[in-house]
Structure 1
Amino acid sequence: MLHMASFLLLQSVKIMSTTYTSNFNVEFKYKPSWFSYFISLLSIFCIFLNLSLYGDDLASETVYLTWQKDPTTTMTIQWISSKKEKEVQLFYRQSTEANWIQVKGIIFNFPHSPSYFINRVELTNLEPDTEYIFKIETNSQTHLFRTLPCSLQRPLRFVVGGDMYHDGIDLMIDICKQAAKTNPSFALVGGDIAYGVGASYIPLQKIERWIEWLKAWHQSMITPEGRLIPIIAAIGNHDLIGHYQQTPAQAKIFSSLFPMAETSIYNVFDFNSYLSIWLLDSGHANPVSGQQTTWLNRTLRERQHIQHRFAIYHVPAYPSIRNFNNKRSSIIRKFWVPAFEQGNLHAAFEHHDHAYKRTYPLLQNKIHPKGILYLGDGAWGIKKARQLKHTQPSYLAKFISIRHVIIVTLQSDKQYFMCINEYGQMIDEYQQNLESSNPNTIPNLNYP
């Protein structure tokens, strides 16, 4: 911020002492009065003051939640600031308690930006299924969150989508507000979040897209009870420099905003023994094949006892818009789909194609009652969803060219998927019954 003010001051002085040449090659010097100098300096001071105030507001406008570890007993709280504090402190307590607990965090530079800093505090040893209240030391505003339960004693709901800040931020906010109304425990995002990178570098205006996205998320992803909705994110091609066949070094913004216990971008989150979600990298910072596929096979085998098993990634194995035989989808079908099938995955959330799709249950590329469901295709913030330019693939049970978000509700023996548009209208629904389930019941979607 001080650097920016100094830059503006130097530019002002430079303008005051500039020699101008007219269209007729006549030179003249601008000779400002002392009053002009005073007005210019006053303007610079006002800009500096505004940046300082904005820095304080920025923290309260960009607070968001994510996880690095166990979602039932931890919470990672992050926010952006425009100045680097000597230390980061946060106060929290259970909403039913009176005494605040003080905890320190870390602060570090926002990657590729001289103007912003990321503040991070991880809370640990929390009680499951418990509401907490917290406040940042530099701001008296309080925020609420709830840890996840240890078991599915009641239905659990989360929302899924991707390809978010593609067009106007208001388009994204429309879907966010509808998603928040369903009172989800968390949001699962499948990449292309802010479209905040370039092909070979990150211009400053792209950084601003991340700030705008964070503000919009903070503003709109709040439950009817006032709780912030945590986000778990998988990487997309527009979340890192170079888009494909890169390394984690090109994804520093993504990994800083959505930190994980591991540093390899892909990960698996375990919600005790009732839910596991694999966050995969579809060829952006890590190859699909090799180490990632080996890890995927191993972690799927280790979690056969988990009640609900899902994967989320960006590029679809079974695209709706792109050609079925495109190179990137073919690679995913070759390496990941066999792992999904051998590991008894229940559903995979796919994105990238900017439309809505739901496949039939698929096994070995064929429709099969014991197959895997693939749904999504990413159109959270798309102004105009893409249209089919070819015959609808036979593996698609449903295709709609529409902006949307998916609401997932889990019970011990059921998985219910509902797709809604920006008006909250249901455009598709589907229920999977696990082997011990009663196929005739739909979960109660009105539970708080």
Structure 2
Amino acid sequence: MSPGFGYSQRNMAVRSKIMCPVLMVLAVFFCWFLSPVALAEESAAPEQIILTWTLDPAASQTITWLTPDNSPARVQYISADEFAGNFDAAQEMNAECSAFDSTHYRFKVNITGLTPETKYVYQVGREEAWSGPLSFTTASDTQEFSFLYMGDVQSGYAEWGSTLDAVYQSYPQIKFALLGGDLTDNDSDEEEWGQFLAAATVLFSRIPVMPAMGNHDGDMYLDFFALPDNGPEGLKQEFYSFDYGNAHFVVLNSNKNTDEGAKQWLQNDLQGTTKKWKFVVFHIPAYPATYDYKGIDKSIRANWVPVLEQNRVDMVFVGHQHEYMRTHPIYQEEVQTEPSYGIVYVMGNAGSKTYGGGGEFPYIAVEQTGSNYQVIDIEGDVLTLTSEQSTGELIERYMINKGDITEPGPVYRLSSQPDPAYTAGTTPDGINTMTVDDGVTGFKYFAVSITPVISHSGNETVVFTHFRNGSQLALNATRADFDQVEIAQAGFNVQPGDVIKVYIVDNLTNDTGVNPVILQ
């Protein structure tokens, strides 16, 4: 046996004696690490924690999160003033559980009975698998607050998460965020949703987020988000509203802009608020930055914009065209010279997908391509919109002072009811006319429908005047609250060629020196 070989054999024997125990330890370690118990403990940690509101933001907080298993979970919460580094004195609530995707379960808790304007510390999960301390703050009845708006995310989720963190570092005063739809590119792609929610957790485990549905959003959006249940029947959580401070927020699904039930709900919702500021969020713009060949913008202008204008909405947030754009104030499809009333439309784009502009529409005030975000500060009568690129570079700062705005007078739209006895028309001044057709004689009723464009407090008067050969023969007036009453009619003895003119005024009186104001 050569010395070299004998040395090698002895050396290997020594190594074997050393290696056997090491291998045994490693084997035990890996067997435990890969065991069902260890994997369950690892997988049970809460992921993608998101705050929203389903009830009053001043007295409640909704928390949603995901885990890979459906073992019972709960939330522990305590006011920040009482938090001593642990949750021993915290209150608890059990979470509702439902399947979310092929690998995760969704848990939801809606905490109620909270104190307004109070910071709470919370954690979600279960024993040995808690999220760790996080916090939220309930709303206050305030005239001053800030919120964040972001348009389409849809791609570049990691970069978007970094932007969220940077925004909060620069603007720690923001109380919540609005998202303008198209949160992912493919709503049924579980991986995309995982990336979106992982990025969203950076900020939205600390402040609530209230999203709108875009044309790329669908079942996974509805399956995850817990939102107010106050929308129209059959469309709840696709349409909803909430209040914060002195402002009212309405969120709409622009994919369903022709739904009559949703339109009536929108009217009722806006008429029911007394808040100073009114904001609306939907995805597809009513006033696009570039031409929309599908014509959805025209449909929204026909179905929703008159309702928004009638109810004095201040600002509408949209997305869809992947750039930043702000309009001049617009009222009845005309650009208004400030400080006259008009709705300002703001288009945002938060993700990495960008389009160029080029629409060159006269209503566009500012336009810029790229990823961006908007911070809105409310201070009483003054709104300040700060728009920045995702890098933090300023795009613009824009202000609205409600104290300076000149409000247009009340306006109503009159339409002649169809009838084979007469032909409807209008004068050059916009007064409705009904001309009696050949073969029609005797007593005949004439009716108009009344649609409020801008409402008027109290009653109004609809005036019917009967003309024959240019001379007025009779007058009939109907007084009512035409914000509530939809039809007015009057009867006259007529002959072929007679003309009935109809208009609406604030009041009709015999008092000298008082002239009625036409409201159409």
State the TM bucket, normalised to the shorter chain. 0.7 to 0.9
1:343 aligns with 2:306: no
Compute the displacement of 1:211 (Å): 1.7
- Runs of 4+ in structure 1 over 4 Å off: 42-45, 47-51
1:379 aligns with 2:368: no
Tell whether the 8 Å contact from 1:308 to 1:346 is kept in structure 2 after alignment: yes
Tell whether the 8 Å contact from 1:415 to 1:431 is kept in structure 2 after alignment: yes
Mapping of residues 191-270 of structure 1, within 5 Å: 191-197=181-187, 202=188, 206-219=189-202, 221=203, 228-240=206-218, 251=219, 253-262=221-230, 263-270=236-243
1:190 aligns with 2:186: no
Report the counterpart of residue 91 of structure 1 in structure 2: 76
User: What amino acid is aligned across from residue 214 of structure 1 in structure 2?
Assistant: L
Tell whether the 8 Å contact from 2:271 to 2:311 is kept in structure 1 after alignment: yes
Mapping of residues 93-242 of structure 1, within 5 Å: 93-98=78-83, 99-110=89-100, 113-138=101-126, 139=130, 141-152=132-143, 155-164=144-153, 166-181=154-169, 182-183=171-172, 184-197=174-187, 202=188, 206-219=189-202, 221=203, 228-240=206-218
Residues of 1 paired with 2:364 and 2:294: CA distance?
A: 17
The alpha-carbon distance between structure 1 residues 322 and 50, as it changes in their structure 2 partners (threshold 3 A), is: farther
CA root-mean-square deviation: 2.3
The alpha-carbon distance between structure 1 residues 347 and 169, as it changes in their structure 2 partners (threshold 3 A), is: same
TM normalised by structure 1 equals 0.75
> Which of structures 1 and 2 has the larger relative contact order (alpha carbons within 8 angstroms, sep 6+)?
1
The alpha-carbon distance between structure 1 residues 83 and 429, as it changes in their structure 2 partners (threshold 3 A), is: same
The alpha-carbon distance between structure 1 residues 265 and 308, as it changes in their structure 2 partners (threshold 3 A), is: same
Tell whether the 8 Å contact from 2:285 to 2:320 is kept in structure 1 after alignment: yes
Q: Percent identity?
A: 24
1:294 aligns with 2:243: no
Q: Report Cα offsets for 1:284-330 as digits up to 9, x if no partner.
A: xx443311111111111112x2111100010000110333x641111
Look up the SS of the partner of 1:340 in the other structure: helix
Tell whether the 8 Å contact from 1:321 to 1:386 is kept in structure 2 after alignment: no
Which is worse superposed, 48-57 or 401-410? Answer: 48-57
Compute the displacement of 1:53 (Å): 4.9
As a proportion of its length, which structure holds more strand? 2
The alpha-carbon distance between structure 1 residues 345 and 254, as it changes in their structure 2 partners (threshold 3 A), is: same
Unaligned 5+ segments in structure 2 are: 1-26, 84-88, 231-235, 406-520
Which is worse superposed, 327-336 or 206-215? Answer: 206-215
Report the counterpart of residue 431 of structure 1 in structure 2: 399
Look up the SS of the partner of 1:238 in the other structure: coil
Compute the displacement of 1:47 (Å): 8.8
Compute the displacement of 1:407 (Å): 0.5
Mapping of residues 265-414 of structure 1, within 5 Å: 265-271=238-244, 274-283=246-255, 286-303=256-273, 305-323=274-292, 326-368=294-336, 369-376=340-347, 378-383=348-353, 385-388=354-357, 390-414=358-382
The alpha-carbon distance between structure 1 residues 207 and 54, as it changes in their structure 2 partners (threshold 3 A), is: farther
Compute the displacement of 1:188 (Å): 0.4
User: What amino acid is aligned across from residue 312 of structure 1 in structure 2?
Assistant: V
Unaligned 5+ segments in structure 1 are: 1-38, 241-250, 438-448
Look up the SS of the partner of 1:156 in the other structure: strand
As a proportion of its length, which structure holds more helix? 1
Residues of 2 paired with 1:78 and 1:96: CA distance?
A: 24
Compute the displacement of 1:255 (Å): 4.6
Which is worse superposed, 402-411 or 140-149? Answer: 140-149
Residues of 2 paired with 1:160 and 1:108: CA distance?
A: 29
Report the counterpart of residue 442 of structure 1 in structure 2: none
Tell whether the 8 Å contact from 1:76 to 1:123 is kept in structure 2 after alignment: yes
Residues of 1 paired with 2:117 and 2:376: CA distance?
A: 19
Tell whether the 8 Å contact from 1:163 to 1:382 is kept in structure 2 after alignment: no
Q: Report Cα offsets for 1:24-69 as digits up to 9, x if no partner.
A: xxxxxxxxxxxxxxx9xx8998396785355234x1x411200101
Larger radius of gyration: 2
Residues of 1 paired with 2:158 and 2:240: CA distance?
A: 31
Look up the SS of the partner of 2:201 in the other structure: helix
Residues of 2 paired with 1:382 and 1:354: CA distance?
A: 9
TM normalised by structure 2 equals 0.65
Residues of 1 paired with 2:115 and 2:131: CA distance?
A: 24
Residues of 2 paired with 1:256 and 1:375: CA distance?
A: 27
Compute the displacement of 1:170 (Å): 2.5
Tell whether the 8 Å contact from 1:175 to 1:404 is kept in structure 2 after alignment: no
Count of residue pairs brought into register by the alignment: 359
